[in-house]
Amino acid sequence: MAHRRPAGGTSSPSSSVTDNENAIRLLESLQNDFKSLSMETKKKYPQIKEASEEAIVKLRNSAAVAADHLQQQQQQPHHHHHQIYYVVNQILYPVVQGCETKEPKIVKMCLGTIQKLITHRAVDQKGARYITDTLWMLMESGTEHVKVLQSVTLLLTTDCVVRGETLARNLVLCFRLHFTKDSQAVINTAGATVRQLVALVFERVMHEDEQLEQQLKDYNEDDNGDAQQQRNGIDSSAPLQDHKQQQNNRTQPLPQLHHHQYNGSNVSGNENISAVSSLAPCAADAYHMFQDLVRLVNTDRPYWLVGMTEMTRTFGLELLESVLSDFQPVFYKHMEFRYLLKERVCALVIKLFSPNVKHHSGNSSARRSTITNTGTGASSVSGNNNSSVMMMGVTGGAGSPTSNHRGDDRPHYAITVRLLRLVSILVRKYHKLLVCIHFINR
pLDDT over 90 at 15, yes or no = no
Q: Each residue of 87-107: pLDDT tens digit?
A: 888 999 999 999 999 999 999
| pLDDT at site 180 | 84
**Which amino acid belongs to residue 92?**
L
The mean per-residue pLDDT over the stretch 349-355 comes to: 82
pLDDT over 60 at 120, yes or no = yes
pLDDT over 80 at 358, yes or no = no
| pLDDT at site 4 | 41
What is the average pLDDT value for the chain, to the nearest integer? 76
Share of the chain above pLDDT 70, in %: 66
| pLDDT at site 436 | 61
Q: Each residue of 269-326: pLDDT tens digit?
A: 455 555 677 899 999 999 999 999 999 999 999 999 999 988 899 999 999 999 999 9
pTM of the model: 0.75
Mention the CATH class of domain 15-141: mainly alpha
What distance in Å separates the CA atoms of residue 269 and residue 267, rounded to the nearest whole number? 7
